[in-house]
Chain A
Amino acid sequence: EDQVTQSPEALRLQEGESSSLNCSYTVSGLRGLFWYRQDPGKGPEFLFTLYSAGEEKEKERLKATLTKKESFLHITAPKPEDSATYLCAVQAGAAGNKLTFGGGTRVLVKP
Protein backbone atom coordinates (compact mmCIF):
# COMPACT_ATOMS: atom_id res chain seq x y z
CA GLU A 1 0.00 0.00 0.00
CA ASP A 2 1.29 3.46 -0.92
CA GLN A 3 2.21 5.61 2.08
CA VAL A 4 3.07 9.30 2.37
CA THR A 5 4.27 10.94 5.59
CA GLN A 6 4.82 14.66 5.98
CA SER A 7 6.82 16.38 8.69
CA PRO A 8 6.62 18.49 10.67
CA GLU A 9 2.86 18.65 11.19
CA ALA A 10 3.11 22.36 11.91
CA LEU A 11 5.78 25.01 11.44
CA ARG A 12 5.93 28.54 12.79
CA LEU A 13 8.40 30.84 11.06
CA GLN A 14 9.39 34.45 11.34
CA GLU A 15 9.21 36.40 8.11
CA GLY A 16 12.47 35.84 6.27
CA GLU A 17 13.34 32.65 8.18
CA SER A 18 13.98 29.95 5.58
CA SER A 19 12.98 26.34 6.27
CA SER A 20 12.20 22.99 4.66
CA LEU A 21 9.22 20.65 4.71
CA ASN A 22 9.70 16.91 4.35
CA CYS A 23 7.60 14.35 2.46
CA SER A 24 8.64 10.70 2.83
CA TYR A 25 6.99 8.12 0.62
CA THR A 26 6.77 4.38 0.11
CA VAL A 27 5.26 3.39 -3.23
CA SER A 28 5.50 0.75 -5.91
CA GLY A 29 6.61 2.50 -9.05
CA LEU A 30 6.48 6.26 -8.54
CA ARG A 31 4.93 8.04 -11.53
CA GLY A 32 4.88 11.50 -10.01
CA LEU A 33 5.15 13.41 -6.74
CA PHE A 34 2.89 16.43 -6.40
CA TRP A 35 2.99 19.44 -4.09
CA TYR A 36 -0.16 21.45 -3.41
CA ARG A 37 -0.89 24.51 -1.29
CA GLN A 38 -4.21 24.69 0.57
CA ASP A 39 -5.58 27.84 2.17
CA PRO A 40 -8.31 27.61 4.84
CA GLY A 41 -11.69 26.94 3.28
CA LYS A 42 -10.22 26.40 -0.19
CA GLY A 43 -9.34 23.45 -2.37
CA PRO A 44 -5.72 22.38 -2.94
CA GLU A 45 -3.84 24.59 -5.42
CA PHE A 46 -1.27 22.87 -7.62
CA LEU A 47 2.37 23.90 -7.14
CA PHE A 48 4.74 21.30 -8.65
CA THR A 49 5.06 17.82 -10.09
CA LEU A 50 8.37 15.94 -9.83
CA TYR A 51 8.92 12.76 -11.80
CA SER A 52 12.40 11.41 -11.09
CA ALA A 53 15.10 11.50 -8.42
CA GLY A 54 17.35 14.52 -8.74
CA GLU A 55 14.66 16.69 -10.30
CA GLU A 56 14.14 20.20 -8.89
CA LYS A 57 11.47 22.83 -9.59
CA GLU A 58 11.14 26.41 -8.39
CA LYS A 59 8.35 28.96 -8.13
CA GLU A 60 8.97 32.29 -6.43
CA ARG A 61 10.16 31.49 -2.89
CA LEU A 62 9.42 27.77 -3.18
CA LYS A 63 11.75 25.03 -4.40
CA ALA A 64 10.86 21.34 -4.54
CA THR A 65 13.40 18.53 -4.74
CA LEU A 66 13.04 14.76 -5.08
CA THR A 67 15.08 11.72 -4.04
CA LYS A 68 14.18 8.05 -4.25
CA LYS A 69 12.61 8.12 -0.79
CA GLU A 70 11.56 11.68 -0.06
CA SER A 71 10.85 15.14 -1.32
CA PHE A 72 11.60 18.49 0.24
CA LEU A 73 9.81 21.78 -0.17
CA HIS A 74 12.19 24.60 0.64
CA ILE A 75 10.71 27.98 1.53
CA THR A 76 13.28 30.75 1.13
CA ALA A 77 12.77 34.04 2.99
CA PRO A 78 9.06 33.39 3.55
CA LYS A 79 6.46 36.14 3.74
CA PRO A 80 3.18 36.07 5.71
CA GLU A 81 1.29 35.28 2.49
CA ASP A 82 3.14 31.96 2.33
CA SER A 83 1.12 30.84 5.36
CA ALA A 84 -0.92 27.80 4.29
CA THR A 85 -1.06 24.02 4.54
CA TYR A 86 1.31 22.33 2.12
CA LEU A 87 0.23 18.91 0.88
CA CYS A 88 2.39 16.26 -0.73
CA ALA A 89 0.88 13.47 -2.85
CA VAL A 90 2.15 10.55 -4.93
CA GLN A 91 0.84 8.93 -8.05
CA ALA A 92 2.05 5.35 -8.29
CA GLY A 93 1.95 2.84 -11.10
CA ALA A 94 -0.06 0.16 -9.33
CA ALA A 95 -2.68 2.59 -8.07
CA GLY A 96 -3.77 4.01 -11.39
CA ASN A 97 -4.23 7.75 -11.66
CA LYS A 98 -5.31 8.51 -8.10
CA LEU A 99 -3.21 10.62 -5.76
CA THR A 100 -2.30 9.40 -2.27
CA PHE A 101 -1.83 12.37 0.07
CA GLY A 102 0.14 12.93 3.22
CA GLY A 103 -1.37 14.68 6.21
CA GLY A 104 0.05 18.07 5.29
CA THR A 105 2.29 20.62 7.01
CA ARG A 106 0.61 23.75 8.37
CA VAL A 107 2.95 26.71 7.92
CA LEU A 108 2.45 30.00 9.74
CA VAL A 109 4.74 32.89 8.84
CA LYS A 110 4.65 35.75 11.33
CA PRO A 111 5.62 39.29 10.34
Chain B
Amino acid sequence: GAGVSQSPRYKVAKRGQDVALRCDPISGHVSLFWYQQALGQGPEFLTYFQNEAQLDKSGLPSDRFFAERPEGSVSTLKIQRTQQEDSAVYLCASSPSSGNTIYFGEGSWLTVV
Protein backbone atom coordinates (compact mmCIF):
# COMPACT_ATOMS: atom_id res chain seq x y z
CA GLY B 1 0.00 0.00 0.00
CA ALA B 2 0.96 3.61 -0.46
CA GLY B 3 0.24 4.80 3.07
CA VAL B 4 1.44 4.20 6.61
CA SER B 5 0.18 0.81 7.73
CA GLN B 6 -0.47 -0.12 11.36
CA SER B 7 -1.39 -3.41 12.99
CA PRO B 8 -3.35 -4.55 14.79
CA ARG B 9 -6.10 -2.00 14.18
CA TYR B 10 -7.84 -3.05 17.40
CA LYS B 11 -6.40 -4.70 20.49
CA VAL B 12 -8.06 -5.59 23.77
CA ALA B 13 -5.59 -6.43 26.53
CA LYS B 14 -6.11 -7.52 30.08
CA ARG B 15 -4.46 -5.31 32.66
CA GLY B 16 -0.91 -6.50 33.19
CA GLN B 17 -0.47 -7.99 29.71
CA ASP B 18 2.26 -6.88 27.33
CA VAL B 19 1.27 -5.57 23.89
CA ALA B 20 3.21 -4.86 20.70
CA LEU B 21 1.99 -2.48 18.02
CA ARG B 22 3.53 -2.49 14.55
CA CYS B 23 4.05 0.30 12.07
CA ASP B 24 5.06 0.01 8.41
CA PRO B 25 5.98 3.52 7.22
CA ILE B 26 5.74 4.75 3.65
CA SER B 27 8.59 3.18 1.68
CA GLY B 28 11.73 5.29 1.79
CA HIS B 29 10.58 7.55 4.59
CA VAL B 30 13.45 8.37 6.91
CA SER B 31 11.53 9.84 9.83
CA LEU B 32 9.05 7.86 11.94
CA PHE B 33 6.93 9.11 14.82
CA TRP B 34 4.64 7.53 17.42
CA TYR B 35 1.79 9.50 18.96
CA GLN B 36 -0.85 8.67 21.57
CA GLN B 37 -4.37 10.05 21.18
CA ALA B 38 -6.92 9.88 23.98
CA LEU B 39 -10.62 10.14 23.13
CA GLY B 40 -11.58 13.69 22.23
CA GLN B 41 -8.01 14.98 22.49
CA GLY B 42 -5.27 15.91 20.05
CA PRO B 43 -2.38 13.50 19.46
CA GLU B 44 0.46 13.59 22.01
CA PHE B 45 4.05 12.94 20.91
CA LEU B 46 5.70 9.78 22.21
CA THR B 47 8.92 9.19 20.27
CA TYR B 48 10.80 9.91 17.02
CA PHE B 49 13.22 7.91 14.87
CA GLN B 50 15.48 9.00 12.07
CA ASN B 51 16.33 5.79 10.25
CA GLU B 52 17.17 3.33 13.05
CA ALA B 53 18.26 5.99 15.54
CA GLN B 54 15.78 6.98 18.25
CA LEU B 55 16.48 10.70 18.48
CA ASP B 56 13.74 11.74 20.87
CA LYS B 57 11.84 9.62 23.39
CA SER B 58 10.85 12.46 25.68
CA GLY B 59 7.13 11.74 25.32
CA LEU B 60 7.17 8.13 26.47
CA PRO B 61 5.06 8.24 29.67
CA SER B 62 6.94 5.59 31.64
CA ASP B 63 9.60 2.92 31.38
CA ARG B 64 6.82 0.47 30.50
CA PHE B 65 6.83 2.00 27.01
CA PHE B 66 9.54 0.99 24.58
CA ALA B 67 9.93 1.59 20.84
CA GLU B 68 12.37 0.23 18.30
CA ARG B 69 13.14 0.47 14.60
CA PRO B 70 16.09 -1.89 14.19
CA GLU B 71 16.53 -1.75 10.41
CA GLY B 72 15.30 1.76 9.83
CA SER B 73 11.98 0.68 8.35
CA VAL B 74 9.31 -1.15 10.37
CA SER B 75 8.85 0.04 13.95
CA THR B 76 7.30 -1.60 17.00
CA LEU B 77 5.87 0.14 20.05
CA LYS B 78 5.81 -2.16 23.04
CA ILE B 79 3.86 -1.54 26.22
CA GLN B 80 4.66 -3.77 29.17
CA ARG B 81 2.29 -4.53 32.04
CA THR B 82 -0.56 -2.55 30.49
CA GLN B 83 -2.73 -0.39 32.72
CA GLN B 84 -6.18 1.09 32.11
CA GLU B 85 -4.75 4.56 31.54
CA ASP B 86 -2.86 3.16 28.52
CA SER B 87 -6.18 2.82 26.67
CA ALA B 88 -5.90 5.13 23.66
CA VAL B 89 -5.29 5.22 19.94
CA TYR B 90 -1.61 4.86 19.04
CA LEU B 91 -0.78 6.66 15.81
CA CYS B 92 2.30 6.10 13.71
CA ALA B 93 3.48 8.70 11.20
CA SER B 94 6.32 9.02 8.73
CA SER B 95 7.96 11.66 6.56
CA PRO B 96 10.62 11.62 3.84
CA SER B 97 13.03 13.70 5.93
CA SER B 98 13.25 16.65 8.27
CA GLY B 99 10.84 19.45 7.49
CA ASN B 100 8.64 17.47 5.13
CA THR B 101 4.95 16.69 5.45
CA ILE B 102 4.21 14.06 8.09
CA TYR B 103 1.73 11.37 7.06
CA PHE B 104 -0.27 9.39 9.60
CA GLY B 105 -1.55 5.84 9.67
CA GLU B 106 -5.07 4.85 10.74
CA GLY B 107 -3.93 4.04 14.27
CA SER B 108 -4.05 1.06 16.61
CA TRP B 109 -6.92 1.23 19.11
CA LEU B 110 -5.84 -0.22 22.45
CA THR B 111 -8.38 -0.99 25.17
CA VAL B 112 -7.08 -2.27 28.50
CA VAL B 113 -9.69 -4.07 30.60
Contact = CB atoms under 8 A, between A and B. Distances in A.
A105 B62 CA distance: 29
A111 interface: no
Nearest to B59: A98
A49 interface: yes
Contacts of A30: none
Contacts, number: 59
Nearest to A101: B42
A96 B42 contact: no
Nearest to B3: A43
Contacts of B44: 101
B55 A99 contact: no
B47 to A, nearest CB: 9
Interface of A: 4, 6, 31-32, 34, 36, 41-46, 49, 87, 89, 91, 96-104
29 contacts: A6-B42, A31-B99, A34-B101, A34-B102, A42-B106, A43-B91, A43-B93, A43-B106, A44-B43, A44-B91, A49-B101, A96-B55, A96-B56, A97-B33, A97-B48, A97-B50, A97-B95, A97-B99, A98-B33, A98-B45, A98-B48, A98-B56, A99-B33, A99-B102, A101-B35, A101-B42, A101-B43, A101-B44, A102-B42
